[in-house]
Amino acid sequence: MPEHLSLFQLNQQIKGELANSFPEAVWVVAEISEIRTVRSGHCYLELIEKEEQGDTIKAKIRATIWAFTFRMLKPYFETTTKQELVSGIKVLIKASVEFQEQYGLSLNIKDIDPSFTLGDIARKRLEVIRQLEEEGVMNMNKEVNLTAVPQKLAIISSPTAAGYEDFVNQLENNPGGFKIYHKLFEAIMQGNEAEQSIIDALERIYEYEDIFDAVIIIRGGGSSSDLMCFDTYWLAVNIAQFPLPVLTGIGHERDESVCDLVAHTKLKTPTAVAEYIIDRIDHFNAYLQDLQAQVIDESQQILKNKSHRLELAINTLQPLVNSIITRKRRQPQEAAHRLNFAVKSYFDQQQSFISHVKESIHYLTKKQVRSGLQLCRFQQTQLKLELGAYIKNKYQQLELAEKTSNLSDPSNILKRGYSISYQNDQPIKDIKSVKVGETLTTQLHKGYLISRVEKIND
């Protein structure tokens, strides 16, 4: 049997080698892939490192923060960074490299540098902003027109969020009593699924873009880690290029998110968004009231001016009316004279016209009768000539047909010395149909000949 080690002995040697190679704790940069805290207070993590281009994992290791250390590190890290220890963030940790014979390799985390995580978050945020600026989409949504009266709102929020309830309550109980229509498009507003969930909500709203005036993205605040999705590139680029104006009220206390930067209008909280919408409608309503007051004032002034002009017109019109009335009184008599003259003139014209028409009809009738008689005589003569020519032509055709018939008569052909030979009462047309020894009958002009075929020459 060859020399060998037990598995326990091998793990002991690995443990010893690692202890010699890493006698002290080392600082390591990694991304938290998984993190969970158990009832005892211990925190267990899975740390990974990805390729710079893409999400391919090139290294992975387990790590532990024992309860005593975790109780100190967690509040210190979160107070400093305003960011919870959650999966997806990068950390700079101080850890000892440990190897247990039963559990294998792991890191025992002793300390976390919060300044590194702050710098990494800021770096990622700046990279997203720089990419949006290079692509020229940073201000696209700001250039979309927001109507003066945004009364049809598409809301992206969690239905159970307190911020959503505050927003709706403030809209529906606005002091001006304005009717504002709103439709909730539910989305997850924190965690790893938040980015895609909000993008999906935007895509659903896009199908009804002609209905809504604006899109409202709201949530009721939260920790920095809860709001990390609002610094991602894909959510920001979807907001930037959305065809409707997007208003944000995310409710964070730290610096504005990337989504705030690309949105049409950013406000701190959901209630601030509601106030902005109400103030915008109220401002337009006040503008309409000012216009109404101006129209009323100008209308009253116009009526006043028209009333004064009417009084002047009445004073000027009275003598003119009297003159017109006097003139109108004389008009019926003058009109009666003109009518009598016009009627008489009309009847004289009609009588003259009737006489003229009567004479014209008599003349035209006589002329038409004479023309008809001349045409009848001409047609009678023409008919006699054409009928005589037709009869003569037909007689000549008959004579020609009779001559042709006589020439074609077989009896006339026989008179000229021709004969017709028959075989079985059928005229012979081809010598090939006749055989030697057969009896033939030959018809002459007068009489028949009976002959027998003795020889045939082709």
Tens digits of pLDDT across the chain (458 residues): 788 888 888 888 888 888 888 888 899 989 888 999 999 999 999 999 888 776 788 899 999 999 999 999 999 888 887 778 888 788 888 999 988 888 889 999 999 988 877 777 777 777 888 888 888 988 999 999 999 899 899 999 988 887 888 899 999 999 888 899 999 999 988 777 888 999 999 999 999 889 999 999 998 665 555 567 788 889 899 999 999 999 998 866 555 788 888 899 998 889 999 999 999 999 999 898 889 889 998 888 898 888 888 888 778 777 777 777 777 777 777 777 788 888 788 878 888 888 888 888 888 888 888 888 888 888 888 888 888 888 888 888 888 887 877 777 777 777 777 788 888 878 887 787 788 888 888 878 778 888 888 877 76
User: What is the amino acid identity at position 386?
Assistant: E
CB count, 10 Å around CB of 441? 15
Backbone phi and psi for residue 186, each to the nearest 5 degrees, phi listed first: -65, 145
- Name the residue among 76, 41, 78, 42 with its Cα closest to residue 62: 42
Give the model confidence (pLDDT) of 18-66 as tens digits.
888 888 889 998 988 899 999 999 999 999 988 877 678 889 999 999 9
Residue with tokens 């028409």: 357
Do 263 and 141 meet the contact criterion of CB atoms below 8 Å apart? yes
CB count, 10 Å around CB of 130? 11
- Return the pLDDT at 246: 94
Strand partners, 46: 34, 62
* Cα–Cα distance measured from residue 307 to residue 317, given in angstroms and rounded to the nearest whole number: 15
CB count, 10 Å around CB of 314? 10
* Cα–Cα distance measured from residue 270 to residue 261, given in angstroms and rounded to the nearest whole number: 17
Rounded CA Rg of the chain: 60
Do 137 and 50 meet the contact criterion of CB atoms below 8 Å apart? no
Q: If you count them, how many residues does the chain have?
A: 458
CB proximity list for 263: less than 8 A, separation 6 or greater? 141, 142, 217, 239, 246, 247, 248
- Return the pLDDT at 414: 72
CB count, 10 Å around CB of 205? 21
CB count, 10 Å around CB of 221? 17
Strand partners, 35: 45
Q: Angle formed by the axes of helices 114-134 and 233-240, to 10°?
A: 30
Dihedral in degrees, nearest 10, Cα atoms 176, 181, 182, 183: 170
Strand partners, 107: 63, 97
